[in-house]
Structure 1
Amino acid sequence: MSDKTWRKRALVVAAGVGVSAVVLAGCTSPGGTDGGDSAPEVVDTQIILAETNEVTSFNAATPQSNLDINGKLWYATHETFAYVNDKMEVVPNESFGTMEKVSDEPLTIKYTLTDNAQWSDGTPVTTDDLLLGWASGSGYFDDATVDEEGAVVSGTQYFTIAGSTSGLEDTEVPEVSEDKKSLTLVYDTPFVDWNLQWLLDQDANPVPFHVLAEKTGVTAEQFTEALTTTPRGNPEAPVEPNATIKTVADFWNTGFDVTSMPDDESLYLSNGPFIVDSWEPTQSMTLKINENYKGDRDPAYSTLVFRFVGDSQAQVTALQNGEVDIINPQAGGDTLQLLESIDGIQILTGPQLSYDHVDLSFRGEWADPTVREAFMKIIPRQQIVDTVVKPINPDAEVLNSQTFVTSQTEPYEKTIKTNGSDAYGDVDIDGAKELLAGRTPTARILYNINNPNRVAAFEAIQATATEAGFVVQDIGREDWSAQLESDIYDVSIFGWISPGVGNEDIPQIFASDGGSNFTGVNIPEVDELAADIQTMTDEADVEDARIKVDQLLFENYYGLPIFQSPGVEAHTDRVSGVTFMANQTGPIWNFWEWTAEDAAAG
Structure 2
Amino acid sequence: MHIRKSRARHAITAVALAGVAALALSACTTSGSTSGSTAATGGTVTVAVVNDLTSLNPSTPQGNVDTNGQVGYLNGAYGSGFQYIDDNYKIVHDDKFGTFEKTSDDPLTVKYTLNKADKWSDGEPVTADDMILGWAMQSGYYDSATFDEATGEVTSGTQYFTPAAGTAGIDQTAYPAVSDDNRTITLTYAKPFVDWELFNPIALPAHVLAKKAGLSFPADLTKLLKGLPKGDKAAPTAPDATLKKAADFANTGYDITAFPTDKDLLVASGPFVVSGWTPGQSITMVKNKYYAGGLKPKVDKVVFRIIPDSNAQVTALQNGEVDIINPQASADTLTALKATSATVLAGDQVSYDHLDLNFGAPVFQDPKVREAFLKTIPRQQILDSIVTPVNPKAEVLNSQIWLPSQDEYAASVKQNGSDKFDKVDIDGAKALLAGATPTVRILYNTNNPNRVDEFQAISASASKAGFKVVDAGSPDWSKLLPGGNYDASLFGWISPGAGTTMIPQLFATGGGGNNNRYNAMNDVAVKTQTTVDKDELITLEQQIDKATFADGYGLPLFQLPGIFGVSSRVDGVKYMGNQTGPFWNFWEWSVKSGK
How would you bin the TM-score normalised by the shorter chain? over 0.9
Q: Which residue of 1 aligns with 2:56?
A: 58
State how far apart, in whole Å, the 2-side matches of 1:14 and 1:389 are.
20
Select 2:592's aligned residue among 579, 589, 597: 597
Q: Confirm or deny: 8 A CA contact 1:13 1:90 kept in the other structure.
A: no
State the shift of 1:513 in Å. Answer: 2.2
User: Contact 1:357–1:493 at 8 Å: present in 2 too?
Assistant: yes
Please state if 1:571 is matched with 2:566: yes
Question: Please, which of 480, 489, 511 is the counterpart of residue 492 of structure 1?
Answer: 489
Work out whether 1:299 is the aligned partner of 2:297: yes
In structure 1, what is the Cα distance between the partners aligned to 2:256 and 2:187?
33
User: For residues 87 and 112 of structure 2, what CA distance do their matches in structure 1 show?
Assistant: 25
Contact preservation (8 Å) 2:129, 2:219: no
C-alpha distance in 2, partners of 1:494/1:119? 35
Q: Give the aligned CA root-mean-square deviation in angstroms.
A: 1.7
1:517-556 correspondence runs (5 A): 517-523=514-520, 526-556=521-551
Partner amino acid for 1:184? Answer: T
1:238-257 aligned at under 5 Å gives the runs: 238-257=236-255
- C-alpha distance in 1 between matches for 2:418 and 2:412: 9
Question: C-alpha separation between the residues in 1 aligned to 2:354 and 2:589?
Answer: 34
Aligned to 1:81: 82
Q: Is the 8 A contact 1:507 1:514 kept in 2?
A: yes
Query: Alpha-carbon deviation of 1:504?
Result: 0.9
Question: Which residue of structure 1 aligns with residue 22 of structure 2?
Answer: 11
| Counterpart selection for 2:473 from 465, 473, 476 | 476
Q: Deviations over 1:409-440 (max 9, x none)?
A: x2110011010000101111111111111111
Match for residue 269 of structure 2 among 234, 252, 271: 271
Deviation at 1:60, TM superposition (A): 0.8
Structure 2 residue 451 is matched with structure 1 residue 454: yes
CA displacement, residues 2-54 of structure 1 (integer Å, 9 cap, x when unaligned)? 21101012234599xxxxx9987546xxxxxxxxxxxxx632x2111010111
Structure 1 counterpart of 2:123: 122
**Aligned-pair CA distance for 1:223:** 2.3
**Alpha-carbon contact 1:23-1:595 (below 8 Å) kept:** no
State the AA in 1 paired with 2:157. G
Task: Tell whether the 8 Å contact from 1:22 to 1:594 is kept in structure 2 after alignment.
Answer: no
**Does structure 1 residue 463 correspond to structure 2 residue 460?**
yes
Distance 1:59 1:485 in 2: 16
> Residue by residue, what CA displacement relative to the aligned partner does 1:227-246 show, whole Å, maximum 9, x if unpaired?
22322212221111122221
1:192 aligns to 2:194 (yes or no): yes
What is the CA–CA distance in structure 2 between the aligned matches of 1:462 and 1:522, rounded to whole Å?
Answer: 27
Residue of structure 2 equivalent to 1:32: none
1:42 aligned residue: 41
Q: Deviations over 1:49-75 (max 9, x none)?
A: 010111111111111100111111011
In structure 2, the partner of 1:71 is 69
**1:147-202 deviations in Å (ceiling 9; x for gaps):** 121111111111111112011100001111122100011000111111111111xx
Partner residue of 2:320 out of 319, 322, 338: 322
Task: Report matched runs for 1:204-223 at 5 Å.
Answer: 205=203, 207-218=204-215, 219-223=217-221
Query: For 1:141 and 1:475, how far apart are their aligned partners in 2?
Result: 37
In structure 2, the partner of 1:2 is 7
Distance of 2:35 and 2:358 partners within structure 1: 51
User: For 1:263-307, what per-residue CA distance to the aligned partner results, in whole angstroms no more than 9, with x for missing partners?
Assistant: 122201122221112111100011112222222222222211000
1:357 aligns with 2:359: no
Q: Corresponding residue for 2:133?
A: 132
Which residue of 2 is the match for residue 438 of structure 1? Answer: 435
Tell me, in whole angstroms, the C-alpha distance in 2 between the residues paired with 1:12 and 1:305: 32
Check the 8 A contact 1:170/1:189 in 2, yes or no: yes
**SS at structure 2 position matched to 1:301:** coil
Return the letter of the residue paired with 2:152: G
Structure 1 Cα separation of the partners of residues 211 and 246 of structure 2: 10
Deviation, 1:598, is 4.6
Q: Which amino acid aligns with 2:176?
A: P
1:35 matched residue in structure 2? none
Corresponding letter in the other structure for 1:196: L
3-state SS of 2:10 partner: strand
C-alpha change, 1:24 and 1:130, in structure 2 (3 Å) is: farther
AA aligned to 2:266 is Y
Distance verdict in 2 for CA 1:280–1:475, change over 3 Å: same
2:334 is the alignment partner of 1:336? yes
Q: Which of 165, 168, 174 matches 2:167?
A: 165
Query: Counterparts of 2:46 and 2:430 in 1: how far apart (Å)?
Result: 51
Task: Report if aligned partners of 2:212, 2:245 keep a CA contact under 8 Å in 1.
Answer: no
Looking at structure 2, the residues matched to 385 and 360 of structure 1 have their Cα atoms a distance apart, in angstroms, of: 20
**Partner of 2:389 in structure 1?**
391
Q: Supply the distance in 1 between the matched residues of 2:165 and 2:270 (Cα, whole angstroms).
A: 23
What letter matches 1:297 in structure 2? L
Distance (Å, rounded) in 2 between the aligned partners of 1:94 and 1:24:
27
Q: Is the 8 A contact 1:351 1:407 kept in 2?
A: no
Instruction: Count residues in correspondence.
Output: 572
Which deviates further from its counterpart, 486-495 or 452-461?
486-495
How far has the Cα of 1:441 moved from its partner?
Answer: 1.1
Classify the secondary structure of the residue corresponding to 1:541.
Answer: helix
Q: Is the Cα–Cα contact under 8 Å of residues 401 and 415 in structure 1 kept in the other structure? A: yes
- Structure 1: give runs of 5+ residues left out of the alignment: 16-20, 28-40
The DSSP-based 3-state class of the residue aligned with 2:440 is strand
Does structure 2 retain, via aligned residues, the 8 Å contact 1:25–1:595? no
Structure 1 residues 145-154 or 67-76, which shifts more?
145-154
Mapped to 1, the partners of 2:342 and 2:117 lie a distance apart of: 37
Secondary structure of residue in 2 paired with 1:270? coil
Letter in 2 for 1:178: D
Contact 2:377 2:458 in 1 (8 A): yes
TM-superposed deviation, 1:467: 1.3
CA contact under 8 A between 2:210 and 2:220: conserved in structure 1? no
The aligned residue for residue 29 of structure 2 is: none
Structure 2: segments with no counterpart, 5+ residues = 1-5, 15-20, 27-32
Q: Which amino acid aligns with 1:194?
A: W
For structure 1, which segment, 528-537 or 580-589, has the greater mean C-alpha deviation from structure 2 after superposition?
A: 528-537
Matched residue, 1:18: none
Q: Deviations over 1:82-105 (max 9, x none)?
A: 000000000000111011111111
Instruction: Please say if residues 23 and 402 of structure 2, whose CA atoms lie closer than 8 Å, have aligned partners that are also in contact.
Output: no
Assess if the C-alpha contact under 8 Å between 2:214 and 2:242 holds in 1.
Answer: no
CA contact (8 A) 1:95 1:116 kept: no
Moved more, 101-110 or 373-382: 101-110
Distance 2:478 2:371 in 1: 25
- DSSP 3-state at the match of 2:562: strand
Q: 1:355 to 1:245 in 2, by over 3 A?
A: same
Corresponding residue number in structure 1 for 2:17: none
Describe the SS at the equivalent of 2:529: helix
Amino acid at match of 2:281: Q
